[in-house]
Chains A and B, each alone.
Chain A
């Protein structure tokens, strides 16, 4: 999300408009999406808080869970988003700035409400966490090893990890199975794969080979190249348990 619209980039750059927030939310609800995640991508790089007016509008519309990310820097920020009707909050750059934020959120709302998003890239085995990935001009190595941060985030109370594999983002050649498999081995809470989905086979591959609990995609859904009912039929055909 940027300026009240849904946008999608390529490797976290060159974002283009993908439509109206509520129209897309309603479409995904109808098509059978199991959960929606909304990222206010420029909130943290710009040092501002998330615009919450749309959270309430989306909450009114949706009867499936949704998670909100972007610019949540305190318990009060998270409280406002949850009070507006979101199910979970996801923290990324602010948790890197101040890791105790994860503990505070888990203590106040319970781990099940607290998702830690990790933007990661690097050579296989040497993945590094990146910060402010929503802004190409400000993105930087956060000074942490991805797997170390993944473990620390769980110890601090994260109830779910979304691993955004930056090299794959928007490329649509499949998820980063190697990185996600390694993450899985270090992750005792639900792990969500993100970055690289281009076909239904990419989803079945990441479930079967990396053992993730969920797979997230954006661009391929936004432009209709993957339809959710067809994707679910494919996964059910492969014997992967999904809500039909």
Chain B
């Protein structure tokens, strides 16, 4: 086992996650090498952009096979979280399938433009080590147009006209729809909690 690793999903702004980990006094290596990722103590799966592009890249590097078999704590962030589900409506993409359910497009409404961009409340569901020290109903920073369904894996939810999963967890696989690396103190604590998971 070595330290935390960030899966290089080809996204352009992985740096902000790396810097957030550094602000916690830790370092996270960026890698697309399956062997390095298998050895990571904690694995971050970040992602911005489109689901189909991201899955194509994971398939090309063999990571689409590797990630579902990982046994250490894995955290999908934003698109990375959506990739953990079975499928995404975005480009009708088959995803990694470690969390049950389909990711769907959000519908815009007056006063609720899509993409959902900005600070919104995160309401806690069942207790979990990831939520330790986080304010129930605290604000986090969201940027997304697709959303994951509520289900038994939902740890926390967000209401943006429709309620969707903000934090999910099943076994060693976790997902967060907001950007913890840009969610001020709440986000830092969330990342610290993840890095504390055994």
Contact = CB atoms under 8 A, between A and B. Distances in A.
Interface of A: 29, 34, 56, 59-60, 62-65, 78-79, 82-87, 108-113, 159-160, 187-191, 211, 213-214, 242-244
17 contacts: A29-B184, A56-B15, A59-B15, A63-B184, A64-B184, A65-B182, A82-B13, A82-B15, A83-B13, A85-B15, A87-B13, A112-B144, A159-B117, A187-B113, A189-B113, A211-B111, A213-B117
A190 B117 contact: yes
Contacts of B123: none
Instruction: Name A's interface SS.
Output: loop
B119 to A, nearest CB: 4
A236 to B, nearest CB: 12
B90 to A, nearest CB: 10
B183 A63 contact: yes
A68 B62 CA distance: 34
A184 to B, nearest CB: 10
Nearest to B20: A63
Contacts of A159: 115, 117
A60 B19 CA distance: 6
Contacts of A188: 108, 113-114
A243 B195 CA distance: 26
Most buried by A among B22, B181, B187: B181
A79 B48 contact: no
